[in-house]
Structure 1
Amino acid sequence: MDLIGERERLLAFARGAVHPDGGFGWLRTDGSLDLARGRELWINTRMTYVFAMAGERELVETGLHALRTDFRDAQHGGWFSVAGEPSDKLAYEHVFVVLAAAAAGDAALLGEALEVLDTYFWEEHFGALSDVRSRDWSRVEAYRGANANMHGVEAMIATGDERWLDRARRITQLLTGGVRVVEHYDPIWRPQPHYNREDPTHRFRPYGVTPGHGFEWARLAHSLGFEEAARRLFSGAIHDGWDGSGFVYTVDFDGRPVVRARLHWVLCEAIAAAAALGEHDFERAWWALAEQHFIDREGGSWWHELDADNRPASTIWDGKPDVYHALGAVSASLRPAGS
């Protein structure tokens, strides 16, 4: 696998996300920009992060300018989910503001984002982040989730600040005690195993266990020094997710597949975790799987979803809006061992 070439190929595709109104928008399967969709915060922040890691300063500034203007809630603070559209505030999206600002070296934006995270999302008593608050911050959704906290850990690590690193460790200890990561909780962090049972294909809060998050948590736990947890989660994700020809999206709490679709980010995180943990036989095998089924040499980037027979599908994801996970896999495999 030519990882340098793959990196440049993904970046070339990502450059097409520049939006005429500022920031970055949603890319279709063919790489064209979908101007009918609003500019989404999680896309803008991830693209800004990607270009920051690639050292493309002009494109970084494109994303940062949109965060400073179109996405910012000038009245109540924080950032809107869609540029210019008042909305509730999501921890999942706000931690990506932190990640983008940290990678871009924007101290002012990073300080603002961390203050918002500290003031409105961090719950010291539990040692974790709440999930959703109203626009004016007065109401908190009666839900706590591992997904926002997982990406919160990633963002906290990126700050390099010991206070936030300590919080990243606390979150990791809270959520990675078993072979599977429980995704959904009530406000006092009691597991909600039946959450979204009627909506199993939800993009961000699917029912059951998400093996791809097991891989992500394994990588993050490893980086924080939780080696035993990292190995346990890595093995658990393989056991639950691998069905013989790919990784399923979700399983139930007995490890039986619920949604058999294959999402590109799951394989990307499996590769990244294998690279981080030194599991190079798995890493090589999974790159071969990516080349065989996910990497779209003709249309660009990776297919974001395949069906159970490894054919392109769009029941959960349409288009190719996100190179963040694929570039993460490339970066992890390019990183020297032990770094």
Structure 2
Amino acid sequence: MDTFQPAFSSWLNAPAHQHWLAAEGLRLLAFAKASKLPEGFGNLDDKGRLPANGQAETMNTARMTHSFAMAHIQGLPGFAELVDHGVQALSGPLKDAEHGGWFASAHPVHDNTGKAAYLHAFVALAASSAVVAERPGAQALLDDAINIIDTHFWSEEEGAMRESFNRDWSEEEAYRGANSNMHTTEAFLALADVTDDNRWLVRAQRIVERVIHGHAAANDYLVVEHFDRDWQPLRDYNHDNPADGFRPYGTTPGHGFEWARLLLHLEAARVQAGMLTPGWLATDAQKLFDNNCRHGWSVDGLPGIVYTLDWNNRAVVSHRLHWTHCEASAAASALLKRTGDEQYEAWYRLFWEFCDSHFIDREGGSWHHELDPHNRPSADIWGGKPDLYHAWQAVLIPRLPLAPSMATALGQVSQSAPV
């Protein structure tokens, strides 16, 4: 696999742009520190405050732990304690000591709280990054997360993740989701680096073969999100709740961009490991990006990428979510590195110009997480500013190689720095 240095003047090679990304990362990190709660990390409001009754959640705790670990790996002071706090929370109050696995939040409201693959993928990702950061307790947490994935979630027969179970693992949800498998692919890339075990790259490719090279390719490279237990598409899923934050109706352009980037990371990781690597990984990544740009960007006459499309590629939910644009810019940077094609430079600049103008909140801090169909800040789908993970990764990915995974790559950069 070749990567290319663009023949034109690219922002990726511009020192000023690299400094801008780094400065924006520091601003995001400073805001997110306030999310600490006694039992993990919680959701900040649009002013960066925790609500009086704020409760630690596994998703945010895992994402914050992963994000703060990458800050610590870079040599930024003030984050080691936050990583340790996250590891302790995931090893304690957020963990189900009786049945194994993780609750969605501390002190679940009833004893049959379910176990979701989506959350467990983030626990594994957080643990792997904390291991790279060499924090106490991280290896035990990682071992636990891997055991749960192997024991309950990974289906060797399907080559994908089962979706969710009840608390004691005795009942399984009759659903399969692209979203949970997407974040599992991200986690498996990190696990391959941290464990030095290529089985995670084999599993990641099996997921991609099913969800993208199979189903998405058959749908004009727009990601089919919802399936029954036999992997038959559920096209009417959540038709009556189209703006669901995790399982929206129709297709989700933001996930198309995220998958495109992950395919390129997987390709680079397999090449780096000396594994047989199919050429369709890069081809599918380009088609995902191109078609989601075509159908998602400015389809209602205003700039920005809509949240969801119906099966005729018409906008359903025209809100613009910040994470969608983070993933779009990150995918553009990855494709630019992989191909050297100037069109990806144009998209990369366009996405960052839009984020700078509409999402970055220089008065209140962090980013507006959501814009309404007229590109005004709103909170119809996501309230407040709880998410560091997407924007933080968006400012890191353009500065890193396609492989290894982010935490490992940052560790290598730190080790090779001049003394």
TM-score (norm 1): 0.97
Aligned partner of 1:166 among 202, 213, 217: 202
Match of residue 218 from structure 1: 260
Aligned to 2:353: 288
Given candidates 356, 369, 374, the residue that maps to 1:304 is: 369
1:97 maps to 123
1:144–1:185 CA contact under 8 A, matched in 2: yes
| Selected match of 2:167 from 135, 145, 161 | 135
Amino acid at match of 1:321: P
When residues 258 and 119 of structure 1 are mapped into structure 2, their CA distance, relative to the original with a 3 A threshold, is same
Q: Would the aligned equivalents of 1:275 and 1:283 in 2 still touch at CA under 8 Å?
A: yes
AA paired with 2:379? Answer: S
**Cα distance change on mapping 1:121 and 1:4 into 2, 3 Å:** same
Cα deviation digits, residues 181-221 of structure 1 (max 9, x gap):
10000001011111000000100000000000000000001
2:242 corresponds to 1:242: no
Larger deviation, residues 158-167 vs 73-82:
158-167
Give the conservation status (yes or no) of the 8 Å contact 1:25–1:35: no
Are 1:183 and 2:225 counterparts?
yes
1:84 to partner: Cα distance: 2.1
Structure 1 portions without partners, runs of 5+? none
Number of residue pairs aligned between Structure 1 and Structure 2: 338
Is the 2:59–2:104 Cα contact (8 Å) retained in structure 1?
Answer: yes
* 8 Å Cα contact 2:39-2:106 kept in structure 1: no
SS of residue matched to 1:75: coil
For normalisation by structure 2, the TM-score amounts to 0.79
Query: Is contact 1:203–1:316 with CA below 8 Å preserved after alignment?
Result: yes
Listed as ranges, the matches of 1:271-282 within 5 Å are 271-278=329-336, 279-282=344-347
Query: Aligned ranges for residues 1-339 of structure 1 at < 5 Å?
Result: 2-19=20-37, 21-55=38-72, 56-85=79-108, 86=111, 87-105=113-131, 106-160=138-192, 161-177=197-213, 178=217, 179-225=221-267, 226-243=281-298, 244-278=302-336, 279-335=344-400
Q: For residue 35 of structure 1, report the CA deviation from its aligned partner.
A: 3.5
The residue identity in structure 1 corresponding to 2:127 is: A
SS of the aligned residue for 1:258 comes to strand
- Check conservation: 2:265, 2:402, Cα contact below 8 A: no
Q: Residue deviations 1:267-313, cap 9 Å, x none?
A: 00001100111022211111111010000001011000001111000
Q: Give the deviation of 1:338 after TM superposition.
A: 8.1
Fraction of identical pairs, as percent: 49
Q: Please tell me the root mean square deviation across aligned C-alpha atoms, in Å.
A: 1.2
| Residue segments in structure 2 that go unaligned for 5+ positions in a row | 1-16, 73-78, 132-137, 268-280, 337-343, 405-419
Deviation at 1:229, TM superposition (A): 0.9
Which structure has the larger Rg? 2
Q: Shift of the alpha carbon at 1:336?
A: 5.2
Higher RCO (C-alpha 8 Å, min separation 6): 2
Q: Please tell me the residue identity of whatever aligns with 1:301.
A: S
Change (3 A) 1:14 1:162: same
